[in-house]
Each structure stands twice: as structure tokens, then as C-alpha cells.
Amino acid sequence: MPELPEVETIRRQLEGALVGQSIRAIDIVAPKSFQGNPELIIGSIIVGIGRRGKHLIFKFENGCGMLIHLKMSGQMIICRDDPADCLNDGDDPSGRLYDQNEKYTRVKFKISNGQELLFNDMRRFGFVRVLDQNQMQTLEEDLGLGVEPLEDDFTADHLSKLLKKKPKSLIKPFLLDQSNIAGIGNIYADEALFAAMIAPDRQAGDLSAGEIANLAEVIQEVLEKSLKLGGSSMRMYVQTDGSRGSFLDQANVYGKEGFLCSRCNEGKIVRLKIAGRSSHFCPVCQR
């Protein structure tokens, strides 16, 4: 599933391409992927594109909005000419990352500048939802998401207060809980815990003040690094031009089961299910 760096990468690219434009028409190829009244946003100028956790939020001049969640396999592809030409599969010989002939396109947006925006979703878990003005006003409360880890209010003190509320929670599931911290998924939880030298099955209440401060810092560092690398392309995630993110090429533990730890050179990375989710870590230097 695209996590904060992937969704933020897409947001920035969409913002640069679409703000100031309007949606001329919407072709709903798969009705189950689209919710709400499309007429609310057709013709209204896009004034901003935000992000909350793993959600994209389009904001329109008339006060309405559009919420998009990519879930497991969603893609947002900007086509500047012929849609058949915008999905360049030359970077991926297997073809798995690219939707040939728009096979998995669920919604098409015709943009006022002649571009076309495609919402692709192979597994059909993602959605596009049009929001009226009242729904936009209550969106923050309705989403129920926690703090944004790249915002100024995510500090060691803030993280400490969150952990104290759930002292029995294991730290890995705690990081994945979107009501605690918004946008962190399996990849970046594993990488941040490795950087902090904290085992994923530690209880939140067992972490020292120093460990908490370090964890808050490395969470931001890991996310920022991934942003610079365009995110992580493991299965279906691509940027708006179809290109891959390269963070996983530099990952320390995620997807590295059986490899020697890059830090201690003693332990081998193991994969263990914790609260139903796979966790990757070094059993020697993560305590």
C-alpha cells in the first residue's frame, strides 16, 4: 500500500500539474470505485491538493472536494497526450507496474488544459469520493487520523504522550495505527525501528525517554529520505509519470529477510508476524 512518502510524492506532482485547472468531464469506468456526485466538481477550478495520512484531498474553488485513497494498488497517472503513450513500461520488463491499454483504469478525469488524469486500481480497494461543502468542513474529524509525522507538532514530547496512553501496545502496531500517527505503514515502521535500534515487539511503555526522542527523529529522517527518492515501488506504486520510486533499493530491513544486518554484521534479518503484520528486523542489534 502506498504510504506517506508515496502519497506525498503523488500530491506534489499533481499539485504542480493541476492547480489552477478545472475538471471538464469525468468518465466513471468502474462505478464501485467512485462515490458522490461528479457534477459538484466539474467545471470548478482546483485551488489546492492536500494530503492527510494516506489520503489525497482535492480542493475546489466552489468549496467542494475530492478524497482519494489508493489502498493497495491505486495509481494516479497524468497523461499529457495520448493515454496509451503515458504508461511507459520500458523501465519494468515484467510489465507488472504498468497498466497496458488502461486495463485497470477505474476513473478518467478530463482536465481543462487537455491532460487526462487516470485513477488506476488493479485490486479495486481504492476509491474516489466527491465531497460537498459540508463534508469538507467535517472531513478532518471524519477521518479520525493522528498527528502528521512531518509536521512541526510531531515532537519527542508529543510521541511520548501518545505512547503513555497505550503503554501495553507493541511499538510496531502502535506505529501502524493511523489514529496515533498518520501515514506510516509497514515499510517505514520497519525502517524507522531499525534506525532507532528498537525491536518491533517492545511494549510502548518500556521505551526510555532517550529511545522515544531518537524514534521521533528517525521516523522523520526515514520519511524524508524516501520522499527524496520518490517513494517505494514494490508492486503497483508509480509516480504520476509512471516512473518508479527507489527507496527500497536502500532499505535496511524491509524485504531483506535472510540478509546480514548492514549495521552490526552479525545478525540476519528475520521476518516475524506481529499483530498479524509481517515485521522485518535484526534480532541482534534491535532490542
Residues 31 and 137 in one domain: yes
CATH number at residue 191: 1.10.8.50
54 is catalytic: yes
Say which of 11, 51, 54, 244 is annotated catalytic: 54
Residues 193 and 244 in one domain: yes
Q: What angle do CA 255, 259, 260 make, to 5 degrees?
A: 135
For the whole model, what pTM was predicted? 0.93
Structural domain contains residue 101: yes
Specify the amino acid at residue 122. Answer: M
2 is catalytic: yes
For 233, the domain range is 156-281
CATH number at residue 14: 3.20.190.10
Q: Reply yes or no on whether the pLDDT at 89 is more than 50.
A: no
123 is catalytic: no
| pLDDT the model gives residue 103 | 86
Residues 11 and 107 in one domain: yes
CB 136 within 8 A of CB 63: yes
State the total domains in the chain.
Answer: 2
d(CA 39, CA 150): 34
Residues 11 and 132 in one domain: yes
Q: What's the burial of 213, exposed, middle or buried (CB within 10 Å: 0-12/13-18/19+)?
A: middle
3 is catalytic: yes
| CA distance readout (Å), 204 to 41, 66, 116, 212, 282 | 44, 36, 46, 9, 19
Average pLDDT over residues 161-181: 98
Average pLDDT over residues 251-268: 98
**Average pLDDT across the chain, whole number:** 93
Indicate the pLDDT class of residue 100, thresholds 50, 70 and 90.
Answer: very low
Residues 229 and 137 in one domain: no
Residue 190 corresponds to which cell in the numbers above?
Answer: 520497519
Say which of 61, 202, 277, 283 is annotated catalytic: 277
Say which of 3, 8, 116, 211 is annotated catalytic: 3
